[in-house]
Amino acid sequence: MSGKLLPNPTPETRIYWEKTALNELWMPYCQTDGWVFPPRFHCPTCASTEFEWRQLSGRGTIASFIITHRGGAGYQDEVPYFIILVDLEEGPRLVGNLYGVPVEPTAVEVGMPVEVFFELRDGIHLPQWRPAGSKVTI
């Protein structure tokens, strides 16, 4: 155990986590309004329960970022590090960490292209982010 906080998979997120274990990013696609959204039992825009799971590209751009200098549980030895908000090509926003760049404000900018990769931590494959075209892993 790493001591780091980990997600607790639930029935509505089961498929999401099964797909991350295959290094794939999947989310529900609403068949009523075409919205792609993080896992839940209904569409957040129209409340429809008619959706299908679709594989996403794993590409997006940075919408916002911070450098944290105060790590939470299990992260104290990793500070400083980036926490970023990513606008996926398909629409949803995800939060994660950015790897593969120096941890300084000038290394990142809003609109910077990023791509997902997956970090295996205590049996959970966590989506993380790196600059588009980078091959960095952790």
pTM for this entry: 0.91
Report the domain count for the chain.
2
39 lies in the same domain as 69: no
17 lies in the same domain as 68: no
13 lies in the same domain as 40: yes
Would you state the pLDDT for residue 76? 85
Would you state the pLDDT for residue 1? 54
Nearest to 105 by CA among 72, 64, 138: 64
Would you state the pLDDT for residue 75? 82
125 lies in the same domain as 61: yes
Which residues are bridge partners to 3 per DSSP? none
Give, as one character, the DSSP assignment of residue 70: S
76 lies in the same domain as 103: yes
Would you state the pLDDT for residue 73? 77
Q: Is residue 2 part of a domain?
A: no
Token output for 27: 């989310």
Domain of 107, in residue numbers: 57-132
Would you state the pLDDT for residue 2? 63
25 lies in the same domain as 76: no
Each residue's pLDDT expressed in tens, for the chain with a length of 138 residues: 567 788 999 999 999 999 999 999 999 999 999 999 999 999 999 999 999 999 999 999 999 999 999 988 788 888 999 999 999 999 999 999 999 999 999 999 999 999 999 999 999 999 999 999 999 988
Say which CATH number the domain at 115 has.
2.40.50.840
Would you state the pLDDT for residue 112? 99
Q: What is the DSSP string of 77-130?
A: GG-SEEEEEEEETTS-EEEEEE-SS-SSGGG--TT-EEEEEEEEETTEEEEEEE
